[in-house]
Amino acid sequence: MSHGAGTGEQSAEPDLTALLDLVLQLVMFFMLIANFVTDELSDKIKLPIATQAKPLTAKDTKFMYLNVDKTGKVIVAVGEPKTSDEEIRFYLRQAAKNYVDGEKKAFAEVTVIIRADKDARFLHIYRTIMAVKTSGFSKLQLRAEVAGLK
C-alpha cells in the first residue's frame, strides 16, 4: 500500500525481525528457568502435614533441596538418587559451588531444605540431616505442608 503520490517514496514500515527474535529468546529463557526450578522439587514426595509450618522468607535467597523418599533414597535435581552418606556429602559440596564463590562461604550462606516423605522412617531423615551437618552446612530446614492448604 503506497502512501503519497507514488513518486518513488519509500515505505516507513518498521522491521520487526529483531524484536521477534528477542521475544522468542525471552520465552525460551523463562521456559528453561521454570524447568530448573521444578526439577529440584520431586512430585514423588508427599510432605507431612504440620500446623505451624513457615514458608521461606525474602531473605532466604540461596537454598537447595534434598528430597528423601519413603525408602530413604535422597532424590536430587541432577543424577541418580543418593543412597549413602558419602554420596550425599559429595553432592552437597559440588552443588554448593553453583550458589556462591568459595566453599566456606557456601556453607555459611546456603540453606539446605530437606523435603522428606511423610512415610519415610526417622532413621533415613536423621542420616540425611547428619550428612548435611558433616558436610559443613550451618543452615538446615525441614519442609511440611500447612494443615488445610494444598
Q: Are strands 63-68 and 111-116 parallel, antiparallel or unpaired?
A: parallel
Band of pLDDT at residue 24, cut at 50, 70 and 90:
very high
- Joined grid coordinates for residue 141: 530446614
Which pTM does this prediction carry? 0.61
Sheet holding 63-68, edge to edge: 74-75, 63-68, 111-116, 139-142
Beta bridge partners of 49: 145
- C-beta separation of 122 from 70 below 8 A: no
**Domains, in order of start, for the chain:** 49-146 (3.30.420)
Query: At 29, which helix (H) or strand (E)?
Result: helix 17-39
Enter the DSSP assignment of 43.
T
Note the Cα 148 to chain centre separation in Å.
25
Strand partners, 140: 112
pLDDT tens string 60-115:
677 888 888 888 888 877 777 787 888 888 888 888 777 777 677 778 778 888 88
